[in-house]
Amino acid sequence: MVKASRVMNVPAQALFDMLIESVIYDIKQSTGKTVRPANFKKGTNYRKRIKTNAKGQKGVSVKVTVTELESPRIYEAKFEGGNDSYTVIRYEIEQLSEEGDQDGDYIRVTYTEDYNDVSKLAKPVRGFQKLIAKNNFKRTLKGMEESVKENMKLKEERAAEKENAKNGDSSSDGE
């Protein structure tokens, strides 16, 4: 199992929503089907191709199933390949500060990835992958935090522009 954790200064719901939007985008890219956030729930599944490092291969087809979903705390999915091999990924979000705290919204995000490889050849490779993966996951979590902050900033700027436009329109009517 690989586990990485990071404390972030973003609202739990904003991070969770970004994560779900990313999965919905993956479904669209993999299947061509559009899933609305309201219809995204535990049990949602789809097939996708995952790239392999082997030259000349197009990748491996896997079935992805949402196995746990609790907004804004838990997202878990199982990726099933052939031969009874599977990987389970899980994001757990823990609120560390009170909502609306003057110091900000602090959360802890814990990402875990657990493997069930039946191939004897996969076990030594998996051990090496775990060493690399932990650092990659830490970078990924940092990138997620930065993306949420950027999205929140853009939403605030758009809201301010709308408010300014609204106020500018009403003041010019009286002249």
Question: Distance between CA atoms of 88 and 163, rounded to whole angstroms?
Answer: 45
Taking only the tens place, the pLDDT of each residue in 43-87 is 999 999 887 665 656 778 899 999 999 999 999 999 998 777 888
Average pLDDT for 75-102: 86
C-beta separation of 77 from 65 below 8 A: yes
Does 37 have pLDDT greater than 50?
A: yes
Question: Distance between CA atoms of 24 and 54, rounded to whole angstroms?
Answer: 28
Q: Which of 109, 110, 113 is nearest to 132 (CA)?
A: 113
Q: How many CB atoms lie within 10 A of CB 62?
A: 20
Backbone torsions φ then ψ of 136, nearest 5 degrees: -60, -40
Q: Please give the model's pTM, rounded to 2 decimal places.
A: 0.77
